[in-house]
Amino acid sequence: MAAQGITIHGTCAPQFAEVRAEFERNFTDRGELGASVAICLDGAPVVDLWAGQADEGGECPWEEDTLAVVFSTSKGLAAMCLHVLADRGAVDFDAPVAKYWPQFAANGKAGVTVGMVMSHQAGLPFWMEPLPDGALLDWEPPTEMLARSTPIWEPGTAHGYHAMTLGNLEGEIVRRVTGMSLGRFFRQEVAEPLGADAWFGLPPSEEPRVATLYLPDASPNSPMGKKLEVEPDWVGHMLWNNGGDTAPAMINSVERHAAEIPAAGAITNARALARLYAPLSRDGSVDGVKLVSPQALPYMRRVRSASGCDTVLRIPTAFTLGFSKSWGDRRLGPGEHVIIGEQAFGTPGFGGSIGFADGEAKMSFGYVMNRLGGGVGLNDRAQSMIDAAYRACGYRDSAPGMWVR
């Protein structure tokens, strides 16, 4: 099926024809370059589409198995590791992080719990000093710096998006508990059992499959952008103390692809995201593979922190243990909201990628692209397909800021 020279590949159940139509419109009307979208319903694939180009040169088509960096969509995959461990009794969300990582207790953090970390309440949303270029490619120095850091608010009293630090905090807990890096644990205990193409730390053999990413223009009109402009001393400027991690040369480098960056470094595609979230849209299992028990799911679904103004992002946000809920407001415009189902949870990524599960709809969803959109939430490309998917599942309204039946 061609759309102004674009051929849409893959399969789509008739029930989700509107999703396919919106995917096509992304290329004809919304500037999509290359992308994939996938949906599972009650664990079974019902949408698996891909199209476009893996780079702007036009010589590398986006293939069935093309991969891309998904930035903060990674956070949900990292959180799955901690939920697997908690379900096995190896991690207690209400226990202090220092129980597993004694050095973390320094400078007022003895009472910081695993749950506070996972719900963005730990008061460590960024490194307080600029990291050297490429610092996040090396696990220990930035992680040890967090152990020495002092929270910028009293942990548990506020929340603000821990854009990059969350991954090092969660990853070090996994490492201390299991003796494995988060990337190794994720492959061994999550991705491989489910047959999902997803990695933290890409093997060299998979590098040829990775699409080139293209950054969006800056968004000075976003709530966070406006605050950065009018308050040059605002602590949010420290979000860029990330060792140049979002520089164009860095995000497309083989070195970054090979590094384990749990907050923003997963490399995957839409099919894998829908597969990884499929058990979480059911009872914790799919096709005979148990990821977690049914008792684990409420911890993923229930809100642990929410406010009308996230300390960092400056918009309404809501988080569970490691996942995002619907947040923001459509009236803020594209890139400043994430509108999913009332019972859904997942994580969006910089540029517009997303993976999520909805146990009420029995739906899991994944979207990955290489031309990044602006803002801190979803752009019209992702949101239009999510809206179509919910309409296909019989949902009637998203006026409350989330889809409801």
* Domains, the chain, ordered by start: 2-392 (3.40.710.10)
Handedness of CA 110, 116, 122, 125 (dihedral sign): positive
In whole angstroms, give the CA distance from residue 231 to residue 239: 14
CB 54 within 8 A of CB 65: no
CA distances from 297 to 149, 237, 284, 343 (A): 32, 35, 7, 11
The confidence score (pLDDT) of residue 351 equals 93
Any idea what DSSP says for residue 278? T
Handedness of CA 183, 185, 187, 190 (dihedral sign): negative
Task: Give, rounded to a whole angstrom, the gap between the first and last alpha carbons of the chain.
Answer: 32
In whole angstroms, give the CA distance from residue 372 to residue 381: 10
Instruction: Give me 366's structure tokens.
Output: 């994944």
CB atoms within 10 A of CB 178: 17
Q: What is the amino acid identity at position 15? A: Q
CB 197 within 8 A of CB 187: no
User: In this structure, what are the phi and psi dihedrals at residue 315, rounded to the nearest 5 degrees?
Assistant: -135, 165
pLDDT tens for 168-218 read: 999 999 999 999 999 999 999 999 999 999 999 999 999 999 999 999 876
Strands (E), 70-170: none
Q: What is the amino acid identity at position 396? A: R
Q: What is the amino acid identity at position 256? A: R
The confidence score (pLDDT) of residue 128 equals 86
The confidence score (pLDDT) of residue 55 equals 96
Q: How many residues does the chain have?
A: 405
Q: What is the pLDDT along the chain (405 residues), one digit of tens a residue?
A: 444 679 999 999 999 999 999 999 999 999 999 999 999 999 999 999 999 999 999 889 999 999 999 999 999 999 999 999 999 999 999 999 999 999 999 999 999 999 999 999 999 999 988 888 899 999 999 999 999 999 999 999 999 999 999 999 999 999 999 999 999 999 999 999 999 999 999 999 999 999 999 998 765 566 666 666 777 666 666 666 677 787 888 999 999 999 999 999 999 999 999 999 999 999 999 999 999 999 999 999 999 999 888 888 888 899 999 999 998 778 777 778 899 999 999 999 999 999 999 999 999 999 999 999 988 889 999 999 999 999 999 998 877 789 998
Three-state DSSP class for residue 345: strand
- With residues binned 3-state (H G I as helix, E B as strand, rest as coil), the percentages for the chain, rounded to 5, are 35, 20, 45
Residue 149 sits at the vertex; the CA angle it makes with 114 and 125, to the nearest 5 degrees, is 60
Beta bridge partners of 51: 35
H-run or E-run covering 7: strand 6-7
What is the maximal distance between C-alpha atoms in the chain? 59
Give catalytic residues, as residue numbers.
72
CA distances from 186 to 13, 84, 178 (A): 30, 10, 11
pLDDT tens for 237-261 read: 666 667 778 788 899 999 999 999 9
Count of CA atoms in the C-beta half-sphere (13 A) of 252: 13
The confidence score (pLDDT) of residue 104 equals 99
